[in-house]
């Protein structure tokens, strides 16, 4: 008797399975489930664009409508990955144009996207609806014009922190008059001015527009007229908030803000002048997300603003908020889930000294839903970390950046080992952790012992020896991404734990003590990994004992990639001993 469910029934059941993690599990059950699942998956996530080939993805998921891709490793955000390393979107777009022309959504992160790519998208995907580019580069406003003119059903166009060659603000005028489907537009990262009239026309014919993020160049005056055209906005990113307006203009703008009854998210606010902060008061009670990371406002004004934001769930702010300001947040923003505090000085000793560990302790005490923290400050204490862990065992993401490398507990002068021990021991669901300050191998023993749910770990200027890496690779069962810079371990731990690397997405190490010989050995031992040695200053001959600058190791089904630049070595390029690829004068 055949007990298998007919595929139509399976399909119906799978249509309720949304999360890709679940779908991945479903596809492992048996062949028929694998088949049915793959034929019904619409949203595909490829978190490392070199882990699999575009052709394989297109082949497996013929009904794909939405593709999310990630390219460069995370440390590329901090200038650690040289230009030209890779992460090209073109092969993916080319393959999908041919094999998945019904594609509707493309979300790319840390990839190189050229104007050719954008033109190809515009020309190939007739039903294209959403383009979201995060931390991408390589294209110009000409490419945007191509998208604007051709994608008749465009709903989302979002450029988040991209580096765009700005050839002028004309691209906006390429949206045809017939385009009325826009839901989300984000051009906040562009430098040049867009024509206000183009923008106003676009906004006024987009009744479904829910999210609008302007660039710095859009004046306060222009903002007023745009808000009047789109009072239904749920997300707003303002332009520069510093032009001098006369009384009438100010009251008009104030009125426009009070009309934003649906607003939940506010960002932008570049250079906001203190006298304009009250303009925002009317939207504060409704806000769930507030990004003040470019608002150079001092603490008292921040307190005035934040004490009105009783529903705030996500707050990004500069350290100008100081401990006192965070105390105010603690008492006013009880729904807070995510807090990020950024430095107000790019230099270690330009940070605001009135922001200490105490600020974070206050918030951890008073905000029961706090799950995610990113905190830059000058120094920290073990006591504070212990208190935070005790207050907030539900923390899922803790990223602490003590700006001064090797800074000990400033009260006891001890390493911060015990503090981070409390964090990993107390916060049992911790998934992401960034550590800093003075740390010995002990800290990593604790993390290895207790950080069982830890998926992503970032480390800089820490540890004493190989033991540090060994603890992490042998202890952290759920470890998926590990990124390390300027730590003193060597080859042993890496080679001993080679098998672990196949269970992880990727490992990044820069300015550590790993030798070229170890990289070769690892490559030979683990054929399913790509072991990339990234070296912008290679020696003419490379003895096995020589240290490598940077290594990026990731598991892959696609084998060696074909687009490696000169400064990337893998064993597939140069299996011979000793000779660097760049052996030129």
Question: 257 vs 376, which CB is nearer to another protein?
Answer: 376
Pairwise CA distance, residues 417 & 383, whole Å: 11
* CB-based contacts of 491, cutoff 8 Å, min separation 6: 466, 513, 514, 515, 517, 518, 521
- Helix 220-229, helix 196-204: angle, nearest 10: 20
CB of 317 to another protein, least distance (A): 12
Pairwise CA distance, residues 291 & 85, whole Å: 31
Question: 231 vs 547, which CB is nearer to another protein?
Answer: 547
Please answer whether residues 212 and 236 qualify as being in contact, where contact means their C-beta atoms are separated by less than 8 angstroms. Answer: yes
CB of 241 to another protein, least distance (A): 14
CB of 411 to another protein, least distance (A): 11
CB of 351 to another protein, least distance (A): 8
* Interaction site with another protein (CB under 8 A): 77-80, 135, 161, 163, 189, 293-294, 296, 298-300, 342-351, 353-354, 376, 378, 401, 403-408, 413-415, 438, 440-442, 458, 460-461, 463-467, 486-490, 511-513, 535, 537, 539, 546-549
Question: 200 vs 418, which CB is nearer to another protein?
Answer: 418
DSSP code of 397? E
Pairwise CA distance, residues 382 & 359, whole Å: 15
Q: Residue 243 half-sphere exposure, CB side, CA atoms within 13 Å?
A: 18
Long-range Cβ pairs for the range 37-43 (8 Å, 24+) = 38/62, 39/11, 39/63, 40/11, 40/14, 40/15, 42/66, 43/68, 43/105
Please answer whether residues 40 and 20 qualify as being in contact, where contact means their C-beta atoms are separated by less than 8 angstroms. Answer: no
Question: 26 vs 189, which CB is nearer to another protein?
Answer: 189
Please answer whether residues 157 and 184 qualify as being in contact, where contact means their C-beta atoms are separated by less than 8 angstroms. Answer: yes
Question: 260 vs 302, which CB is nearer to another protein?
Answer: 302
Question: 6 vs 405, which CB is nearer to another protein?
Answer: 405
Question: 238 vs 282, which CB is nearer to another protein?
Answer: 238
Widest CA span of the chain, in angstroms?
83
Pairwise CA distance, residues 573 & 552, whole Å: 15
Question: 390 vs 540, which CB is nearer to another protein?
Answer: 540
CB of 323 to another protein, least distance (A): 12
How would you label 334-348 residue by residue, b for 16+ Cβ within 10 Å and e otherwise?
Answer: ebbbbbbbbbbeeee
CB of 431 to another protein, least distance (A): 19
Question: 430 vs 509, which CB is nearer to another protein?
Answer: 509
Q: What are phi and psi of 195, to 5 degrees?
A: -70, 120
> Residue 283: enclosing H or E segment and its boundaries?
none
Question: 153 vs 414, which CB is nearer to another protein?
Answer: 414
CB of 166 to another protein, least distance (A): 14
CB of 549 to another protein, least distance (A): 6
Question: 401 vs 447, which CB is nearer to another protein?
Answer: 401
Pairwise CA distance, residues 110 & 40, whole Å: 28
* Bridge partners for 112 per DSSP: 88, 137
* CB-based contacts of 344, cutoff 8 Å, min separation 6: 296, 318, 319, 320, 350, 351, 352
Instruction: Determine the 3-state secondary structure of 522 from DSSP.
Output: helix
Question: 57 vs 112, which CB is nearer to another protein?
Answer: 112
Q: C-alpha angle 273/277/283, rounded to 5°?
A: 145
Pairwise CA distance, residues 511 & 75, whole Å: 13
CB of 540 to another protein, least distance (A): 11
Instruction: Determine the 3-state secondary structure of 99 from DSSP.
Output: helix
The DSSP result for 508-548, as a single string, is EEESS--BHHHHHHHHHH-TTEEEEEE-SS--SB--TTSBP
CB of 485 to another protein, least distance (A): 8
* CB-based contacts of 12, cutoff 8 Å, min separation 6: none
CB of 530 to another protein, least distance (A): 21
Please answer whether residues 211 and 184 qualify as being in contact, where contact means their C-beta atoms are separated by less than 8 angstroms. Answer: yes
Q: Where are the alpha helices (DSSP H) in 184-314?
A: 196-204, 220-229, 247-258, 299-306
CB of 347 to another protein, least distance (A): 5
CB of 163 to another protein, least distance (A): 8
Question: 248 vs 349, which CB is nearer to another protein?
Answer: 349
């Amino acid at each position: 008797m055949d007990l298998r469910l007919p595929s139509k029934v399976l399909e119906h059941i799978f249509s309720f399975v949304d999360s890709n993690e679940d779908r991945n599990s479903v596809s492992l059950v048996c062949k028929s489930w694998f088949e049915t699942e793959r034929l019904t998956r619409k949203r595909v996530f490829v978190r490392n664009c070199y882990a699999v080939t575009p052709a394989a993805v297109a082949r497996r998921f013929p009904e794909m409508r939405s593709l999310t891709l990630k390219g460069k490793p995370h440390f590329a955000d901090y200038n650690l990955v040289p230009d030209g390393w890779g992460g090209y979107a073109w092969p993916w777009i080319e393959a999908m144009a041919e094999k998945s022309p019904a594609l509707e959504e493309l979300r790319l992160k840390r990839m190189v996207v050229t104007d050719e790519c954008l033109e190809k998208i515009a020309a190939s995907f007739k039903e294209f609806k959403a383009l979201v580019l995060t931390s991408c580069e390589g294209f110009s406003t000409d490419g945007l014009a191509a998208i604007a003119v051709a994608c008749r059903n465009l709903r989302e166009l979002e450029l988040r922190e991209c580096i765009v060659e700005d050839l002028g603000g004309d691209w906006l005028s390429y949206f045809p008059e017939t385009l009325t489907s826009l839901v989300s537009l984000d051009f906040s990262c562009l430098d040049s001015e867009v024509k206000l009239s183009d923008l106003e026309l676009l906004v006024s014919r987009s009744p479904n527009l829910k999210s609008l993020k302007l660039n710095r160049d859009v004046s306060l005056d222009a903002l007023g007229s745009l808000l009047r055209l789109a009072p239904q906005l749920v997300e707003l990113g303002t332009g520069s908030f510093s032009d001098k307006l006369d009384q009438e203009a100010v009251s008009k703008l104030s009125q426009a803000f009070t009309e934003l009854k649906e607003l939940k998210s506010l960002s932008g606010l570049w250079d906001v002048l203190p006298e304009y902060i009250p303009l925002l008061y009317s939207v504060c009670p409704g806000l769930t997300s507030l990004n003040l990371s470019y608002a150079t406002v001092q603490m008292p004004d921040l307190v005035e603003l934040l004490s009105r934001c009783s529903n705030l769930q996500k707050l990004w702010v500069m350290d100008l908020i100081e401990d006192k300001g965070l105390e105010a947040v603690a008492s006013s923003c009880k729904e807070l889930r995510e807090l990020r505090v950024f430095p107000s000085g790019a230099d270690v000793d330009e940070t605001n000294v009135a922001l200490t560990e105490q600020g974070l302790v206050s918030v951890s005490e008073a905000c029961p839903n706090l799950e995610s923290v990113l905190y830059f400050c000058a120094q920290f204490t073990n006591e504070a970390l212990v208190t935070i862990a005790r207050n907030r065992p539900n923390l899922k993401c803790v990223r602490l950046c003590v700006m001064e490398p090797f800074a000990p507990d400033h009260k006891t002068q001890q390493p911060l080992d015990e503090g981070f021990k409390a964090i990993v021991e107390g916060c049992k669901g911790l998934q992401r952790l960034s550590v800093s300050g003075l740390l010995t191998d002990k800290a990593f023993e604790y993390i290895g012992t207790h950080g069982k749910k830890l998926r992503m770990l970032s480390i800089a200027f820490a540890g004493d020896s190989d033991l540090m890496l060994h603890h992490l690779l042998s202890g952290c069962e759920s470890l998926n991404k590990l990124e390390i810079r300027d730590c003193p371990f060597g080859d042993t731990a890496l080679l001993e734990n080679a098998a672990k690397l196949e269970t992880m997405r990727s490992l990044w190490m820069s300015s550590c003590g790993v030798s070229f010989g170890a990289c070769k050995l690892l490559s030979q031992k683990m054929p399913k990994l790509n072991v990339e040695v990234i070296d912008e200053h290679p020696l003419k001959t490379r003895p096995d004992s020589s240290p490598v600058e940077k290594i990026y190791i990731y598991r892959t089904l696609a084998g060696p990639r074909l687009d490696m630049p000169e400064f990337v070595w893998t064993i597939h390029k140069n299996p011979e001993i000793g000779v660097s690829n760049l052996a030129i004068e």
